[in-house]
Amino acid sequence: MFPSPSYSSSSQYSLAPSFTGPIQPSSIVFWLSRCSAIFQSYNDLHSSQPLTPRAQIRQAGLALIHPETSRWWDAQSADLQALTSWNEFVQRFKDRFLLNNSSDMGLKAERAFYTFRQNGLPIRDYVGELEERRAVLNECNRSSMVDDVQYKRHLLFGADEKTGRDVEKALQLQGLTIDTIGVEKLAGLICEIADGSFVIPAESVASKQPYAHALSQEDTPPSPTIENLSTELHETVPTHRDPIIAAHPISRPPSLELELEAGHELEPEPEHLDTQPEQLDPPLPSITLSDLQIARVSPPPNPPTQRLTPAPLTPEERRSIAAAGGCFKCRRVPSSSDWVEHKAPTCPGDPSRGIPPGPRYNPPSSQNQSKSRHKKKSSSVTTIAVPPAPAPPLPVPPPPVEPQWFEEQAIRGRSSAASAEEVDYDNDFILKL
């Protein structure tokens, strides 16, 4: 970017603004143009005593504060004050500090103008910088001045892609073109679009589908009929049984061909009479053309139901709902017949207007079911009595011993002893024998 013009306010000795540098095309051009505007304004206000060319040149010379320009004025002040017009002084100043400052100053000014793009700059900075570069180029190189036609195109095509598209849409809406709109109006329109003060309406459905209008009733394809389907079936249904024969090489000869004709069923193939029986595949089911037509023609699916979408609330509606203490989601207020105290997360919504319920809304049926389940659980817990743990068994005392038992035991002992003596006696008798 070019450096901003460096000149201070006018001193008490000069009407012209002080030139403090730097010696750059932009600074020189804008200082000279500002001096010309000030002198012209003074002459308009003091038409009875206007500034003479000598006074204008002297005022400008006293405002040259930059060291290099100040030395030039001190050395050439006599010759400069002898000039007959202000334009002659302007040309002398340009010859010394602008045109002779560099041999290719005009080429540099052209390159600075034609290569300048927005590249993410704020739109107002882009427009102002391009205007400055155009002014410098027109002052440095009169042979390649930029006219309004070139400037408008460079202003439009040098902007960012989105800005350029928005400007083209705005021109179409206003019935203007790049050739009919003025330079200042184009610059103002670009700034208004960037600031948001000029709103471009959204594209219509027809503009998003550019070829929709070209499809007329004559170009609409005919609806399917039985005759059309029969023709298509003759073209699409294979007439040879070779693929089926390849899958069953034993029971189908490869040279057999069957033709599908309207109203004729497929005849089963004759079996081969061989001496040895062969295991044949089950015959194919008979298929007629009407069966294929019925399978091909199916009713169209039901059209999708359009979901209702409520219109957004206007500021007046929002204020009225807020004043009544209602809900912005379902748009009900406490005075409504079906009002239920809730908040936005637990809003029941309004299915009649396509408003879904809130993320934490529980329907009344589910709430009743959960409450009934909770009651059942609590009642079951309270009614079921837990049996106490069984007590350990008490030790059983031994039965008391009666005296009769002792007598029986004594009798048994005597009888066993007598039997033992008898055995011993018998043994002794045998041994003695």
Ranked by mean pLDDT, the top range of 30-39, 288-297, 324-333 is: 30-39
Residue 326 lies in a domain: yes
Average pLDDT, the chain: 71
Pair (176, 155) in one structural domain: yes
Structural domain boundaries enclosing 41? 7-99
Residue 191 lies in a domain: yes
Residue 46 lies in a domain: yes
Of all residues in the chain, the percent with pLDDT exceeding 90 is 9
Any idea which residue has 């007590």 for tokens? Answer: 391
Pair (153, 77) in one structural domain: no
Task: State mean pLDDT over 241-259.
Answer: 46
Pair (139, 181) in one structural domain: yes
Residue 155 lies in a domain: yes
Torsion of CA 336, 340, 344, 349, to 10 degrees: -70
Residue 386 lies in a domain: no
Any idea which residue has 């013009």 for tokens? Answer: 5
**pLDDT band for position 94 (50/70/90)?**
confident
**pLDDT band for position 58 (50/70/90)?**
very high
Residue 82 lies in a domain: yes
Of 367 and 114, the one with more pLDDT: 114
Ranked by mean pLDDT, the top range of 63-72, 271-280, 313-322, 347-356 is: 63-72
Residue 172 lies in a domain: yes
| 184-211 residue pLDDT tens | 888 888 888 877 777 776 654 334 444 3
DSSP string, 360-410: T---HHHHHHHHHHHHHHHHHHHHPPPPPPPPPPPPPPPPPPPHHHHHHHH
Residue 232 lies in a domain: no
- Pairwise CA distance, residues 430 & 18, whole Å: 172
Please determine, for residue 352, whether its predicted confidence score (pLDDT) is greater than 70: yes
Q: Which amino acid is at 47?
A: S
Pair (127, 93) in one structural domain: no
Last residue of a domain, one of 143, 174, 195: 195
Pair (64, 118) in one structural domain: no
